[in-house]
Amino acid sequence: MTERTEEQFELPVLVRKQVRDARARTARARKKQAAAAEVAAVDPVARVLVDVPLAHLDRPFDYSVPAAMADTAVPGARVKVRFAGQDVDGYVLERAPSSSHTGTLAALRRVVSAEPVLSPAVAALTADVAERYAGTRSDVLRLAVPARHATTEKQPSTPADAPVSFDAAAASDAWRGHEPGAAFLRHLAEGGSPRAVWAAAPATDWPHLLAHAAAATYAGGRGALLCVPDGKDVARVDRALTAVLGEGHHVALTAEAGPARRYADFLAVSRGARRVVVGTRAAGFAPVHDLGLVAIWDDGDDLHAEPRAPYPHTRETLLLRAEREGTAVLVGGFARTVEGHYLLKTGWARELSPPREVLRARVTVSIAGASDRDLARDPHTRATRVPREVHEAIRVGLTTGPVLVQTPRVGYVASLACERCRTPARCPVCTGPLAIPAPTSPPACRWCATVAEAWSCPECGDRGLRAPVLGDARTAEELGRSFPSTLVRTSSGDTVLADVDARPAIVVATPGAEPVAEGGYATVVLLDTWLMLGRTDLRTVEEALRRWANAAALVRPGGAVVAVGDPTHPALQALVRWDLAGFAARETRERLEAHLPPASRLATITGSPGAVDDAVTLLDAPAAAEVLGPVATGADESRVVVRVPRAHGPALSKALGDLQRLRSSRKLDAVRIQVDPLSIG
């Protein structure tokens, strides 16, 4: 009885002790096993980058390599490791003879595959990009290495065909009109690393020029990497590369291809079976062997800005890569960005551009200003948005070929505008945009709901408001009425046409969705340019000009471009003179005075007001840094902007990275950091 009571009483203690002992035994056993397990004879240590989201763990951890994995745990291989009790994915960065870690190393748990998917060059690039954008390598690696597809991995990659010899004559011919294009190509072919910012002349078949630059590099025994904004452009450059290099030398990497195809193409590159690559922004990380040239087309297109952390921009990724791998650089486009201009201004890159007489021969740009006088003379103009001379230009164009009509997207500008001078109508209370909430109601502010019954235009005093007539469908309908016997096609949103043939037709397209015409358009019309300038973003004007230039450049050589808008606007004047370089230079000067990028490096810190506040306190920013804000950006979210002169950019990135590591290790509330955000909105 007594014994039983005692037993019952002592049971929990006993159980606890047993559990404890059992745990200790398994721990000892595990350690013994780890120590006893045979490790690799050479380089028994693997430096592993683990895939964990914590900034302070963004460094290699050493693991012992079991003998069975000696040959498969190669640098670049995907592995599974035990990390703080969990199985996590990682990449072997390198193998080493010993570790500086004090304490016993855990063993690699499994080599997922011996395929070295993370090359030393891309691993280094990943570190550079993470550092530059104050992010983690694991985030960058998600962008750089595609998901594994085991079946695909088992297939060998077809080796490249014997390279065709470089046709220097054809290449120089293609680049004719862009000076000094021939010298640039020769330099590439000889294995040099020239760096250029290229202003393409309108009506240039730019995919072929890119293909020739890649071919020149390839002929010199090196690889080339071409990044373009979207899948449509990838397809064009893909075709151009096939035309110049033939089949079997290049791959096109896009998000559209399924996972198997994507991985197969990636492997063809990482195995060195293909050394010429074209793709969208993710391709910037493609592990091209013996990389000799990196190129980006239309670097002002915001598709080049990665929307996932740490938000790297393709141009910056490629420039970091060029620095590290010593490659040639080609930054091209019809329009020029302020960043592109900056590369020239600092002497880092040379200019490739068409001489005046080439431009004059390629295109004639004119402006149809819908002035009051025009409206009085032709009241019909206002109803159709298409001034008489534009109507005439379309008619003339249609006698010889297709006509492109670019019209702003629906919803691009939702606000009402002054009927007379077309200044966007803003709320007198909060400066928000005015709109008509219901068909019969008076205009009201979309931000603060103030009813603006007695609105008058601050620019011209007119009291009339007009709703912008917008949309490609609406425009197509109008033009269809004006040109009854003409085929009218639209390209926008979900139904984007890649190309149209050379027959006369009206092609109505929204910006960025313009199809390429066989042989080029006879005429290009840019409607409602004033609407594209109506936004208040920092880059509005630059962006509008870029979109106009991209549409205008689709004319055939000697074709006509007509823009409907204010003839005195500097952006339209730049378009008329096709002086996009001059516009970028002026824009850069203005930004310099306003301490905006690219003369300054700028970063935003966003998060809960408390977190942002103490992030600013913890931030060990360079002495020259200015902290602007915080400002409230939403419900319980605030933001500060940190700005430094460009020379202190790397120091700012470093400080922001340190801040993230510190916050992560102290388990403080996360803040989102964006270095060089595209816009601060």
Q: How far is the CB of 35 from DNA (least distance, A)?
A: 12
Nearer to DNA, 84 or 169 (CB): 84
Nearer to DNA, 98 or 440 (CB): 98
CA–CA distance from 337 to each of 200, 255, 363, 571 (Å)?
A: 13, 26, 21, 13
Nearer to DNA, 82 or 463 (CB): 82
Nearer to DNA, 57 or 599 (CB): 57
Nearer to DNA, 21 or 499 (CB): 21
Residue 599 and residue 644: Cα distance in Å, rounded? 9
Centroid of chain to Cα 122: 18
Residue 315 and residue 337: Cα distance in Å, rounded? 11
Q: How far is the CB of 47 from DNA (least distance, A)?
A: 8
Element (H, E) at 673: strand 672-675
Q: How far is the CB of 196 from DNA (least distance, A)?
A: 45
Q: Which residues contact 290 (CB under 8 A, 6 or more apart)?
A: 221, 222, 223, 275
Contact 199, 362 (CB under 8 A): no
Q: How far is the CB of 315 from DNA (least distance, A)?
A: 35
Q: How far is the CB of 417 from DNA (least distance, A)?
A: 55
Q: How far is the CB of 170 from DNA (least distance, A)?
A: 55
Please give the residue ranges that form the binding site for DNA (CB under 7 A). Answer: 16, 23, 27, 54, 57, 61-64, 82-86, 99, 101, 103, 105-106, 665, 667
Q: How far is the CB of 60 from DNA (least distance, A)?
A: 8
Label residues 621-657 b or e (16+ Cβ within 10 Å = b). bbeebeeeebeebeeeebbbbbbbebebbebbbbbbb
Q: How far is the CB of 101 from DNA (least distance, A)?
A: 3
Nearer to DNA, 63 or 263 (CB): 63
Residue 203 and residue 554: Cα distance in Å, rounded? 5
Residue 226 and residue 234: Cα distance in Å, rounded? 9
Contact 17, 44 (CB under 8 A): no
Contact 166, 358 (CB under 8 A): no
Q: How far is the CB of 432 from DNA (least distance, A)?
A: 45
Nearer to DNA, 71 or 87 (CB): 87
Supply the DSSP string of 140-163, one letter for each residue: HHHHHSPPP-HHHHHSPPPPPPPP
Residue 105 and residue 198: Cα distance in Å, rounded? 52
Q: How far is the CB of 129 from DNA (least distance, A)?
A: 24
Nearer to DNA, 77 or 225 (CB): 77
Supply the DSSP string of 567-619, one letter for each residue: TT-HHHHHHHTT-HHHHHHHHHHHHHHTT-TTTEEEEEEEE-HHHHHHHHHH-
Q: 3-class DSSP state for residue 521?
A: strand
Q: How far is the CB of 127 from DNA (least distance, A)?
A: 18
Nearer to DNA, 27 or 429 (CB): 27
Nearer to DNA, 97 or 103 (CB): 103
Say what the alpha-carbon torsion angle 255, 259, 260, 266 is, to the nearest 10 degrees: 50
Nearer to DNA, 63 or 521 (CB): 63
Contact 437, 553 (CB under 8 A): no
